Amino acid sequence: MESLKYPIGRFEPLPDYTPEMLRGFINDIRYLPQLVEIAVQQLDEYQLQTPYRPEGWTVAQVVHHLADSHMNGYTRMKLALTEEQPVIKPYEEQLWAELPDVKFTPVNVSITLLHALHNRWVSLMEHLSEAGWERTFVHPANGTRHNLKTHAANYSWHGKHHLEHILRLKERMDW
């Protein structure tokens, strides 16, 4: 079950990240919308409503979750760049996945949103100074401070993690 839930493993932050690693994270974020679009473009409504694992989200919920989560990730980065160690607002992602906009909005709307959002996010990250990458925010659940390097690493992982959910489901179902 662990490999179905975490097909690329769990996110493991490093103590620090090199400029080359940051460029890789930026590229992962840059290309995620295209990869998600390609992954779902041939799926019909039945396939989009198929959970990627038992008790997991449907493919459509995964796509909408990516848009929701990455909007939050982008906002958190902007907060860290404009405020001194802001305390971020967590959100109940499981409950967001059940809201009407997820149930009744076609996945292409969230894919379009991902394209636009990631374009802005990549532009922001490509122009960050070293000091910008060191800016932090605080997560209220445990009071931990996260710098923007780790944040980029986490969202690089997050996109690949959910893309892999879709790709492995397609492989298992022979779609």
> What pLDDT score does 142 carry?
86
Q: What is the gyration radius of the CA atoms in the chain, in angstroms?
A: 16
Q: Would you kindly state where each structural domain of the chain is located, as residue ranges? A: 16-173
Backbone angles phi, psi at 140, to 5 degrees: -70, -20
Distance between CA atoms of residues 85 and 39, nearest Å:
37
Q: Once rounded to an integer, what is the mean pLDDT over residues 43-53?
A: 98
**Which residues lie closer than 8 Å to 121 by C-beta, 6 or more apart?**
29, 70, 73, 74, 77
CA distances for 32 relative to 29, 39, 93, 116, 171, angstroms: 5, 10, 20, 12, 19
The confidence band for 1, taking pLDDT boundaries of 50, 70 and 90, is confident
pLDDT tops 90 at residue 27:
yes
Query: What confidence tens digit (pLDDT) does each residue in 121-142 have?
Result: 999 999 999 999 999 999 998 8
Q: What is the DSSP letter of 86?
A: P
> What pLDDT score does 85 carry?
96
Please state the CATH superfamily assignment of the domain spanning residues 16-173 in this structure: dinb family like domain (1.20.120.450)
> What pLDDT score does 135 carry?
98
Query: What confidence tens digit (pLDDT) does each residue in 68-91 have?
Result: 999 999 999 999 999 999 999 999
Distance between CA atoms of residues 61 and 66, nearest Å:
9
Place of tokens 């890789």: 24
Per DSSP, the chain holds a count of helices (H) and strands (E) of: 9, 2
